[in-house]
Structure 1
Amino acid sequence: MTDALVIGAGPAGLMAAEELARAGRRVLVTEAKPSVARKLLMAGKSGLNLTKDEPPAMFTKHTSGGGPALFEALKSFGPEEVKDWARNLGQEVFTGSSGRVFPDAMKASPLLRAWLLRLADLGVEFRTRWRWVGLDDGMQFETPEGVVTLNPKVTVLALGGASWSRLGSDGTWAQMLSGKGVTLAPFKPANMGFCVNWSDHMKPHFGVPVKGTALLVNGQTTRGEYVISEKGLEGGGIYAISAAVRDGADLKIDLLPDWPLEKIAARLSGPRGKTSVSNHLRKALKLEGVKRALLMEFGNPLPDGAALASLIKALPVPHAGPRPIDEAISTAGGVRFEAMDENLMLNALPGVFCAGEMLDWEAPTGGYLITTCLATGRHAGRAAARWSQG
């Protein structure tokens, strides 16, 4: 028996469990995988980016698709609150030159260990390898001991999106909720790479980072590093513009963003004699390595003069669409905000709340994802505690 049930042990679920426990509820957290917070630990392998150090109004502008409840959650638990929360777990943080905030330890494991100890002190219990399979006559789970049905007073669902299924976010919950009248937006990849059918000419550049270019989408210019992979284009710079390109915007690359068009045209107008085009680009513009390779890949046959200068400033990128959804860092789509009230409780299922990436919102990498998951988990957990009292 339990007062409160939390299904899903990622950041949103753990935060909801903490709020419920602080309100005096007996809390059980179930997780389908053998251990908790697997995606958080994976995110922390290259440095756990907890949040972005910027004013709340600017922070929320990077989140799209969310309803008023999401923005209310971020209003009360934004970047400053996330930093304080980490410090209260004994994890000091620092802000990098880009404004991204990391724990001093960089990894996720010290923070997670401290958090789980605090939850244990609050009486939160965990069951792993419990997969949620139904909600008729209670919450049903497939467990190592067989099928178990729970009837808690209140439930928070924090089941993740539909990417990285091997870490637990497989989106299989969507069919169960839609069968109960919960309206959902279709899942779409977010923060993902794009497929490019490279010629053999590009093979020597697989794995090479592209620095010092700008990405042009919908009249906006974005600077950021990305990588040439065997499958296409990936990395932070690409993720920042991935939503717009996924939804149909053209992608172009400015190979020399610090050079005005006129300067490039003037440099190219000089005589090249018997010098090859490739060497002329290297000598006149210092266009070398992977930048020159991208120009040859996407621009051949290269035009002359002013047309070539224009191509260097806005090189079209023909791609074959986003990488598969399971490879995406996150997903858009999920439970629509109109399917819930202002407390993130499902209209069709009173007493059942939702939090985290399973909600229909998206944001770029850079701390926005984790912060929003924590904020919605806190919002749903506090609301669930109040509802169970009433």
Structure 2
Amino acid sequence: MAAEAAAGTGAPVTILDHMPSPARKLLIAGRGGLNLTHSEALDRFLGRYGAARERLEPHIRAFPPSALIAWCEALGQETFIGSSGRVFPKAMKASPLLRAWLARLAEHGVGLRTRHRWLGFTEDGLLRVATPQGETRLAPGATVLALGGASWPGLGADGAWTALLPGCAIAPLRPSNMGFAVAWSEHLRNRFAGAPLKRIALSFGEHAARGEAVITQRGIEGGVIYALSAPLREAIAATGEATALLDLRPDISAEDLARRIARRAPATTLSNHLRRAAGLSPPAIALVQEAIRGGAPAEDIAALIKALPLRLFAPFGLDRAISSAGGLAWQEVEPDLMIRRLPGVFACGEMLDWEAPTGGYLLQACFATGRAAGQAAAAWALSAPR
């Protein structure tokens, strides 16, 4: 996006990508349908960025969700709004979009050099770049660093760049939008690993979300977990664990649920009773039984179903996280995203210090900051004395 924005000003642009092919993380995002952005009101949308809202807001307002949708459709990829308000290309994958995008960049004269890895700067400010032929040095009019965070490092963004900006404050890269470890019993782990929990709700302190989750061998993950991953991660860092409350039937009040399960035939097992009277799925029933075996009071099953304690002990690592928190501190960059210590060098995307939940907010901010950095870099290069 930075390259396209810069090329649109008439500046000559070359992309250096250290992987053998470009946009691998975009392609992996396409496996989930490529959630480009979200259709909710812009003020509510901007609130999803938390403490980083003030710095991201000008760039997102300059390239809002409506502009991203129009950009996608101009590449021949129609979009639609899902029932959750999320926006996807109708193709539900990234490859057609990427092919059209690369073709348009080529038409604009943008060069693409793969297997070219940035190694930092020389003492006189040149770019050190490792190529298949060996190290070379470049002196561009301006540089945009779009180096990503550190999640899914096998796709290219491995966080190694954090050692290449000496003197710059960098918040440690941490997993975001990830699952958490839970000490399941052997029975639950062996019987229900991979089982979905649908139409549930999760709360932790003042934070709450509805969605789905998946029980895994190591713990739990999924959309409703990702939505609360930041406060849960911080709580675990502070105290070693966090207990969230899982509502297995958020569509039914506690009173109604209590009435439904008040009468239980003597010969009916708890499992069958919860399935018939409460409408719980087998994995949800297993969680209730696991909580009771762990010491949760069995006298009020309805209350337990509505607020089942879920003890989380550690976040899953960066290799499993959808995104990462941390990155280049905001005080290190100008409003136009130029790095203060490095005139003519700009930063964008996930390498900046922000995080957001899944739902289209991640890609939207990456696209918007990429566009802003590309425009600013082109303006810098074209105005520099020759």
Q: Say yes or no: TM over 0.5.
A: yes
Shift of 1:227: 0.8
Q: Is the 8 A contact 2:264 2:273 kept in 1?
A: no
Q: Is the 8 A contact 2:182 2:311 kept in 1?
A: yes
Name the residue aligned to 1:197.
183
- Equivalent in 196, 209, 213 of residue 209 of structure 1: 196
- Equivalent in 152, 155, 162 of residue 164 of structure 1: 152
Q: Is the 8 A contact 1:20 1:381 kept in 2?
A: yes
- Equivalent in 219, 228, 232 of residue 241 of structure 1: 228
Gap change, CA 1:112 and 1:289, over 3 Å in 2 = same
Unmatched 5+ stretches in structure 2: 236-241
- Equivalent in 360, 366, 370 of residue 367 of structure 1: 360
Shift of 1:208: 1.2
Name the residue aligned to 1:44.
30
- Equivalent in 140, 143, 146 of residue 131 of structure 2: 143
Q: Deviations over 1:212-257 (max 9, x none)?
A: 3211122343210111111211111211111121111531101222
Q: SS of 1:225's equivalent? A: strand
Distance in 2 (alpha carbons) for counterparts of 1:103 and 1:288: 32
Name the residue aligned to 2:380.
387
Matched-pair identity in %? 49
Distance in 1 (alpha carbons) for counterparts of 2:172 and 2:217: 29
Name the residue aligned to 2:72.
86
Distance in 1 (alpha carbons) for counterparts of 2:206 and 2:354: 23
- Equivalent in 314, 319, 324 of residue 326 of structure 1: 319
Q: Is the 8 A contact 1:139 1:151 kept in 2?
A: yes
- Equivalent in 341, 344, 353 of residue 346 of structure 2: 353
Distance in 2 (alpha carbons) for counterparts of 1:277 and 1:33: 54
Pairing 1:1-390 to 2, within 5 Å after superposition: 15-66=1-52, 68-136=54-122, 137=124, 138-177=126-165, 179=166, 181-202=167-188, 203-248=190-235, 250-270=243-263, 272-273=265-266, 275-300=268-293, 301-306=295-300, 308-390=301-383
Shift of 1:124: 0.7
Q: SS of 1:75's equivalent? A: helix
Q: Is the 8 A contact 2:22 2:114 kept in 1?
A: yes
Question: What is the RMSD of the two structures over their aligned residues, measured on CA atoms?
Answer: 1.7
Shift of 1:374: 0.4
Q: SS of 1:325's equivalent? A: coil
TM-score (norm 1): 0.91
Unmatched 5+ stretches in structure 1: 1-14
Name the residue aligned to 1:9.
none
Q: SS of 1:57's equivalent? A: helix
2:85 partner amino acid: G
Distance in 2 (alpha carbons) for counterparts of 1:88 and 1:225: 33
Distance in 1 (alpha carbons) for counterparts of 2:44 and 2:285: 36
Shift of 1:284: 3.8
Q: Is the 8 A contact 2:35 2:86 kept in 1?
A: yes
Q: Is the 8 A contact 1:53 1:99 kept in 2?
A: yes
2:131 partner amino acid: T
1:299 partner amino acid: I
2:118 partner amino acid: W
Gap change, CA 1:359 and 1:278, over 3 Å in 2 = same
1:176 partner amino acid: L
Q: Is the 8 A contact 2:141 2:380 kept in 1?
A: no
Q: Is the 8 A contact 2:46 2:53 kept in 1?
A: no
Q: Is the 8 A contact 1:296 1:302 kept in 2?
A: no
Q: Deviations over 1:67-123 (max 9, x none)?
A: 644210001111100011011111111111111111121111111111111111111
Distance in 2 (alpha carbons) for counterparts of 1:271 and 1:224: 30
> Which stretch shifts more, 245-254 or 270-279?
270-279
Q: Is the 8 A contact 1:68 1:342 kept in 2?
A: no
Distance in 1 (alpha carbons) for counterparts of 2:86 and 2:269: 44
Distance in 2 (alpha carbons) for counterparts of 1:83 and 1:369: 15
Q: Deviations over 1:315-368 (max 9, x none)?
A: 111122110112101001001111111100011111100000000011111111
Distance in 1 (alpha carbons) for counterparts of 2:373 and 2:264: 68
Gap change, CA 1:271 and 1:385, over 3 Å in 2 = closer
Distance in 2 (alpha carbons) for counterparts of 1:278 and 1:96: 34
Gap change, CA 1:83 and 1:288, over 3 Å in 2 = closer
